[in-house]
């Protein structure tokens, strides 16, 4: 099982990278969460934002597997403890690479090595499209997409 996406973004790789790590921009890109990590291989990485445990709810956590600023981020991925009691047994790997292509950036995301019967696969498949589209929009226009969350019909 794997999820794989390729996006071409009309911005320099450094601008795309900034969307991932600048808290004001990443909060928008990641639908209300930010990356918290030293980004050193072997260290913990967390996606933190408002949720069941308050403003600092850990939605995703894992271990940094590779990090090269502006080029590569790879980590193991577990759902946060408030989402599933068996969160430690549910794992996948995420590898995001950025490559300059002409005057734009090729963003390649591979989410693989899923544990058997991981219930997050379906949810993740839905949300990666939104998150990656948001990264593209923010890098190109400075604005996130409006998915209508929190608005009544």
pLDDT truncated to tens, each residue of the chain (153 aa)? 899 999 999 999 999 999 999 988 988 888 888 899 999 999 999 999 888 888 888 988 999 999 999 999 999 999 888 887 888 889 999 999 999 999 999 999 999 999 998 888 888 888 899 999 999 999 999 998 888 875 434
Torsion sign (Cα): 12, 14, 108, 19: negative
Domain membership flag for residue 116? yes
Tell me, yes or no, whether 146 lies in a domain.
Answer: no
**Has residue 123 been placed in a domain?**
yes
For residue 30, report the phi and psi dihedrals to the nearest 5 degrees: -95, 25
Decide if 150 is inside a domain.
no
Total count of domains within the chain: 1
Question: Is 128 inside a domain boundary?
Answer: yes
Containing structural domain, residue 22:
3-141
**Three-state SS at 59:** strand
């Amino acid at each position: 099982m794997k999820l794989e996406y390729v996006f071409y973004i009309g911005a320099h790789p450094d601008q795309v990278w900034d969307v991932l790590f600048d808290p004001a921009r990443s909060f928008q890109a990641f639908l209300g969460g930010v990356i918290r990590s030293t980004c050193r291989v072997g260290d913990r990485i967390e996606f933190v934002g408002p949720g069941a445990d308050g403003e600092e709810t850990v939605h995703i956590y894992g271990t940094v597997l590779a990090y090269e600023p502006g080029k590569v981020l790879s980590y193991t991925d577990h759902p946060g403890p408030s989402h599933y009691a068996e969160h430690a047994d549910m794992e996948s790997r995420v590898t995001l690479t950025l490559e300059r292509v002409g005057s734009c950036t090729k963003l390649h995301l591979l989410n693989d090595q899923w544990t058997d019967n991981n219930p997050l696969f379906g949810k993740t498949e839905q949300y990666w499209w939104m998150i990656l589209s948001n990264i593209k929009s923010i890098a190109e226009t400075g604005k996130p997409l409006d998915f209508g969350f929190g608005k009544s019909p």
